[in-house]
Structure formats: structure tokens, C-alpha cells
Amino acid sequence: MTTQKQDQVGKKLSDMPDETGHFGQYGGIFVPETLMEPLKELKEAYIHYFQDPDFVTELDSDLTNYVGRPSPLYFAQRWSRELGGAKIYLKREDLNHTGAHKVNNTVGQMLLAKRMGKTRIIAETGAGQHGVATATVAARLGLECVVYMGAEDIQRQALNVYRMKLLGARVVSVESGSRTLKDALNEAMRDWVTNIDNTFYIIGTAAGPHPYPAMVRDFQAIIGREAKQQIMTHEGRLPDALVACIGGGSNAIGLFYPFVDDIDVSMYGVEAAGHGLETGNHAAPLCAGKPGVLHGNRTYLMEDRHGQIIPTHSVSAGLDYPGVGPEHSWLKDIGRANYVAVTDEEALKGFHDLTLTEGIMPALESSHAIAYVTKLAPTMDKEQIIIMNLSGRGDKDIHTVATIDGIEF
Amino acid sequence: MSRIKSCFAQLKNNNKKALIPYVAAGDPNPEITLDLMHAMVQSGADIIELGVPFSDPMADGPVIQKASERALIYGTSLTDVLAIIKQFRETNDTTPVVLMGYLNPIEVMGYDVFAKAASGAGVDGVLTVDIPPEEAQDYIPALRQNGLDPIFLLSPTTTRERMALICQYASGFIYYVAVKGVTGTAALDTTEVARRLKIINEVTDLPIGVGFGIKSAETAAAVGQVADAVVVGSALVNLVEQNAHALSNAEGNIKIIEEISQVLLSMRTALDA
């Protein structure tokens, strides 16, 4: 394993990754040779355009006028009172265009694709939120869009599949491996390797080979930057804790990153414990996995003792992934962030709790964060503040919830 | 002299090109692999490339993906693959064996533990698809210290500058990926391959093997005109797939070995013509 470089004295936590895309021993570039040059071009474009005033202006304008930012920071007064502890603020990413945080990233990567002269867009998707967010921005620019989705997920998320088709994207069913998100990612990589000349691969989470983890984080960091300003306006001080759900970890890193140097702010990433960590049927690599290499980066993985990736389970398709963004692996190892897990059952209770107490129907992914807040808030003082990322809305999950509750339409 | 080095030296003396078949270890069942390796040598293979099954073969097309899946039904692990090679070495001490696979099984075993075990089993080279030299500061020395050749890929997108960097770290031979794409892709352009090999030859003295997209004896012969070695994978693994659902493993295995041997013999003849 790569040893951590020793030259980080005096550097801030937010200065990561290093030049070669490493967060300590995590991250990096582990891909077939054919992708090395395209990744180098992407890295150069990302570094260049993030400092280009025209690019930044266009991105800001799209985030304001197309996505609908800034998203509100909402004080969940009734829910806070019921839990009887900390004041809970919800960062309302569910109110974004397309209904989740995913669009922050697709808008940004699409602007890069346009500047790099790419004419064809590909993406992988699990729950379909990233696929929809990609198909949406591709439609807006009139670009060809192909979305890879595991055959299992296509069954589970029929509504989002239809949304993507309405938006003009071609949804390709992935029949290999476990037929879920990880296999969709493999298939998208295979497409990219074959069509690198004209194709831009929009990865949906803060994982994959460098520069994706850093780039996706930087596009999602708008969440934390806004939240920081908004909480100063509401409360005149920084929060005590941040809570977000983690699949690949893009909504969490988007919220965490702008606070990472504020060491008095605690951070909690909530993984999917599925049927329970002890059953092995879960999607919690940070809580119950080991480091390894998959999908272009070194990170915590769900793997067996021979290094084969093992099947995951979560009621939420968006968290059903055996890896996690490398920055989270690093934040875990250095002890800067805490990673916990809640079960399907707890998440479903969270879904109903927030719907009934605040009139906000959350995505099942975000419901994991809700379930953890219900444990955390009562342990804190009434003066303390939690910001939770409400990463997406629950419309797409109504069918799943209804089925579990024994209701048929 | 290493087995790979003496293999290429001998071929050069005889004015011949290396034929390198790829099969996935344990595909379609663990019983076949040892017999298949010996049969391939008898049918003209100079070096054997043995695939280590992985759950997420990102650089492989459907044919080799399915080979991995079939092998994993039996749980064929990296340890199992090394055990097969150790058995192979009991009766064959000359034919080089190169492992081809993905990093994670090696990473989980630990680079040093793996390199010692592989060397002890009689492995000669290791081609790990998803570790570029930039990430291999610990991996390369572990292989080298145990007498294993780190084999790296060059691709149509590799710049001349990168070629030089990669060739610095590579030994044994260089593997040129002839197409942008995954394994088993159609239509390799021999003119373009010849043009690229000319550049690679300016950068390194290592022998150059070409793979990805070699399906027929004719293509093998054409590539043999410009390369030192021809790697054929999916065309062989296809034959495994066609016989994977035979009535019994034993029956299927006999047919697979027969059919793969035939294809290799025809490629050998075409290459030597």
C-alpha cells in the first residue's frame, strides 16, 4: 500500500487531495492504461476552469436560475421539540430542480463537457436520481445521453427510468455481476474506454479515479458553503454537528467539506445498515468493510477475504453500493468524521416521522440521516445545533414504502 | 535468465513469434485448468496468460466477464490459481506463466505475501490491469524482489512520453492493447498497430505483445509480422462458453480442450508460415 506522504505539516484538512489525487492512502488513479490520458485531460480542464471567471459565472447563473439555488436552510421546529434536544436545521436539497442534490454536480460537469468539446454524455445510476439529473442537463444542451443502470435497479425504480426516457436519454440495462449500481459503473467505464474521443463520463458520486472525487466534491460543496452562511444568519454561529447519509458520499462531502477545517463542528456520515450490520446484508463499507481498490480508487469496500466485491443490501437503491468516496475513508481514519449506520427499519421510521411532523417527504436515502438525527438530537442540549442534509425528496420511493406497508395501488 | 526472457530469446533465434493464449483460471470449472494449460503448450502456446477471476472486471468485454462469473461460482480465488500453477510446474518448468487480473485480490493478500507466493508457485510475470506505474511504488519492488516481471499495458491513447515512463518500470514484455475498448472488441486495424509498434520499438528494447481484437489465424499472422507476440483471449474463451453447459463437466472439458487446441494449432501454423 502507498505510504502517506510526510510533507503535510502546516497544511489544512481542506487542502486534500494531493497533486496525484490521494487523500492519505486513499483515492488515486487505478484504471486501465487507455483511461490515463483522458483522465489527465479531465484533470487539467477541471483545474483550469475552476479558476476561469467565465466558467464560474456561468456555473453560478445555472445554479441560481436552473437549479433554484440557494436551497433553504429550514428550522424543523416541531421535530426538534418532539426529539427534545438540539435545534435541527434541514438543508433542503430536495427542493432543487429534479428533486435531489445530484443536479449540482451534473450541471457543473456538463459545463466542463461542453468546454472540452465532448458531444456524448454517459452516466451510471443506482436509484436513478443521478441518471435523471444527467439526462436533464443533457436535454438542455441537446447532447446524446446514455445512462447505465443495473437490471435489478431498473425493476425497483421504474418511475425514474421512465423520467430518463422522457428526457431523451437511452437507459441501458446492465445484466452482468450483481446487476446493481456497481455493475452499472463497470459498464459505464467500459463504454468510456471504448468511446473516449467524443464521450464525457459524468460520475454521480465523489468516488472513481482522480479527479472525480475532488471534482464532484467541489461541485457539491455549494451545499456546505450556503449552509455555513445561512446558519450564521439564523443563529450567528457555526453548528455543533452535521449529519448526512452516505452511499458513495457526494451529498455528505458537499455538506462537510466547507466545515472540515472548523474542528469544533462534529460530522456524522450515516451508512445503510440494511437488515443489520451483524447480518452481513448491508451497504456500510466504512462501518463494516476494509480498504481495497475498486472503480479507480483505493477506499473502504465491502469485500470477502479473497478481495472479491460482495453483494450489498439497502432498502434505498441510492445507498446500495459496496464502496465509498475516498475522502470519507480518509476522514474516518484521521478521526475527523464519525461514520455510523442505521437499518432499513430505522430509515423507514425516519421517513414517516419527518413526513408527519414537518410535512416534508424525504427520499429513503435521506431518511437514513433522519433516523440518526432522532438518536443524536436527544443527547444534545437545547442550545446546540444540528444541520442535516435533506439530500432528496421521497416521491420516487412512494412505491417502495407502500409495498413495505402492504399497500397496493 | 528468467523464463520469459529465455522464451523470447529462443523464439528470436528460431525467427519465430510468441503465441500467448489467455484463459481464465477455473473457467468453466476448476478441474479443467491444469489439463488445459498443458494442452495449450502442446498446441503451440509459448507463454500462458492465466486470468485471475474478479467480481468487477472493468476492462473486460462480455465474453471474459462471463468467464470470471463462471469461475467465481466455484469460488476460484487467487490462492487457488497459484495452487494450479504450482501443479503445472511439476511437469513443465519452461513455459512462462503470466497472471492477468485486477488489483484488489492482490491488494487484500498484500503485495509481499502475494509476490512470494506467486514466485514460489512458478509464476513469471504479473499483469494487473488497473494499476498504472504511478500507483505502483510498492507493487513493482515487491514483484521484482521475488523475480517476477511487472508487465504493463500500452494503449492507443498512451503518449510517447508516457510510453517511456511505463517502459522504465516494465520488464518481461510490453503488452500493447490494439484497440480503444474492452477485451473481445472487434476490428483491429493492423496498419495502425504497425505504426504504433514502430514508436514503441523506438522507446524500448523489450519484446512487444499485441492483444485485444485478435480473433482469427489471419489476424494473428498479420500482427505477427510486426509484433514479437500475439495474445489471443476472447476467441478462446468463447469456445469455453459454448461448451460450458455440457451434460457433465468432464464431457464439456474434453470438448473445450479439443476446440481450443485446434484454434491454437491453426494460429501457430499461420504465425510460423
Provide the residue type at B251 as one letter.
E
Q: How close does chain B come to A130, measured CA to CA in Å?
A: 21
pLDDT of residue A2: 39
Residue B20, beta-bridge partner list? B231
Residues of chain B in contact with residue A194, where contact means CB-CB under 8 angstroms, are 180-182, 185
Interface contact A193-B59, CB threshold 8 A: yes
pLDDT tens string A232-273? 999 999 999 999 999 999 999 999 999 999 999 999 999 999
User: Does B158 contact A at CB distance below 8 Å?
Assistant: yes
pLDDT tens string A136-175? 999 999 999 999 999 988 988 888 999 999 999 999 999 9
Cβ within 8 Å of A, B 67-86: 69, 72, 75, 77-79
Q: SS3 sequence, A292-344?
A: EEECEEEEEECECCCCCECCCCCCCHHHCCCCCCHHHHHHHHCCCCEEEEEEH
Mutation target to probe the A interface, by most A beta carbons within 10 A, among B174, B180, B212, B241 is: B180
Interface contact A306-B153, CB threshold 8 A: no
Q: Tell me the ipTM for this assembly.
A: 0.96
C-alpha cell, B270: 499461420
Give the confidence band of A7 by pLDDT, cuts at 50, 70, 90: very low
Is residue A102 over pLDDT 50? yes
pLDDT tens string B85-118? 999 999 999 999 999 999 999 999 999 999 999 9
Is residue B185 over pLDDT 80? no
pLDDT tens string B118-145? 999 999 999 999 999 999 999 999 999 9
Residue A123: its H or E element: strand A120-125
B26: left (phi over 0), alpha (psi -120 to 50) or beta: left
Q: How close does chain A come to B13, measured CA to CA in Å?
A: 32
Cβ within 8 Å of A, B 43-62: 54-62
Is residue A221 over pLDDT 60? yes
Q: What residues contact A184, with CB distance under 8 A and at least 6 apart?
A: A124, A125, A126, A148, A149, A150, A153, A174
Task: Confirm whether B272 is a catalytic residue.
Answer: no
Residue A94: its H or E element: none
pLDDT tens string B143-174? 999 999 999 999 999 999 999 999 999 999 99
Residues of chain A in contact with residue B182, where contact means CB-CB under 8 angstroms, are 190, 193-194
Residues of chain A in contact with residue B137, where contact means CB-CB under 8 angstroms, are 2
Using a 10 angstrom Cβ sphere, with 0-12 exposed, 13-18 middle and 19 or more buried, the burial of residue B246 is: middle
Residue A393, beta-bridge partner list? A362
Distances (CA, A) of B176 to A34, A65, A401, B10, B270: 11, 48, 51, 21, 21
Nearest-angstrom CA–CA distance, A278 and B98: 39
Nearest-angstrom CA–CA distance, B189 and B176: 13
Q: What residues contact A359, with CB distance under 8 A and at least 6 apart?
A: none
Cβ within 8 Å of A, B 109-148: 109, 111, 129-132, 134-135, 137-138
R_g over Cα of chain B: 17
User: Does B153 contact A at CB distance below 8 Å?
Assistant: yes
CB neighbours of residue A267 within 10 Å:
22
**Pick from A263, A189, A266, A249: which is nearest to A214 by CA?**
A249
Interface contact B138-A1, CB threshold 8 A: yes
CB crowding A121-142: b at 16 or more within 10 Å, else e: bbbbbbbbbbbbbbbbbbeeee
Nearest-angstrom CA–CA distance, A64 and A141: 17
Nearest-angstrom CA–CA distance, B205 and B182: 27
User: Does B213 contact A at CB distance below 8 Å?
Assistant: no
CB neighbours of residue B14 within 10 Å:
9
Q: How close does chain B come to A192, measured CA to CA in Å?
A: 8
Give the confidence band of B188 by pLDDT, cuts at 50, 70, 90: confident
More confident residue, A7 or A325: A325
Mutation target to probe the B interface, by most B beta carbons within 10 A, among A4, A189, A190, A303 is: A190
Q: How close does chain A come to B59, measured CA to CA in Å?
A: 6
Lowest mean pLDDT segment, chosen from A2-6, A159-163, A328-332:
A2-6
User: Mean pLDDT for chain A?
Assistant: 95
Give the confidence band of A177 by pLDDT, cuts at 50, 70, 90: confident
pLDDT of residue A4: 41
C-alpha cell, A301: 469496500
The residue-averaged pLDDT of B49-70 equals 96
Mapped onto helix, strand or coil, the DSSP state of residue A25 is coil
Residue B185: its H or E element: none
From B27, B49, B149, B241, active-site residue? B49
Through-space distance between the first and last CA atoms of chain A, rounded to whole angstroms:
52
User: Mean pLDDT for chain B?
Assistant: 96
Is residue A1 over pLDDT 60? no
pLDDT tens string A350-403? 999 999 999 999 999 999 999 999 999 999 999 999 999 999 999 989 989 999
**Pick from A313, A306, A252, A267: which is nearest to A288 by CA?**
A313
Q: Where are the beta strands (DSSP E) in chain B?
A: 18-24, 48-51, 97-101, 125-128, 149-151, 153-154, 174-177, 208-211, 229-232
Query: How many DSSP H helices and E strands does chain B contain?
Result: 12, 9
Domains of chain B: 3-267 (3.20.20.70)
Interface contact A308-B137, CB threshold 8 A: no
Using a pLDDT cut of 70, give the percent of chain A over it. 98
pLDDT of residue A145: 98
**Pick from A201, A166, A196, A163: which is nearest to A184 by CA?**
A201
pLDDT of residue A9: 60
Helices (H), A195-322: 212-220, 222-235, 250-256, 285-288
Q: pTM for this structure?
A: 0.96
CB neighbours of residue B31 within 10 Å:
13
Interface contact B182-A194, CB threshold 8 A: yes
Interface contact B56-A197, CB threshold 8 A: no
Nearest-angstrom CA–CA distance, A128 and B255: 44
Task: Confirm whether A332 is a catalytic residue.
Answer: no
Task: Confirm whether B31 is a catalytic residue.
Answer: no
Provide the residue type at B236 as one letter.
L
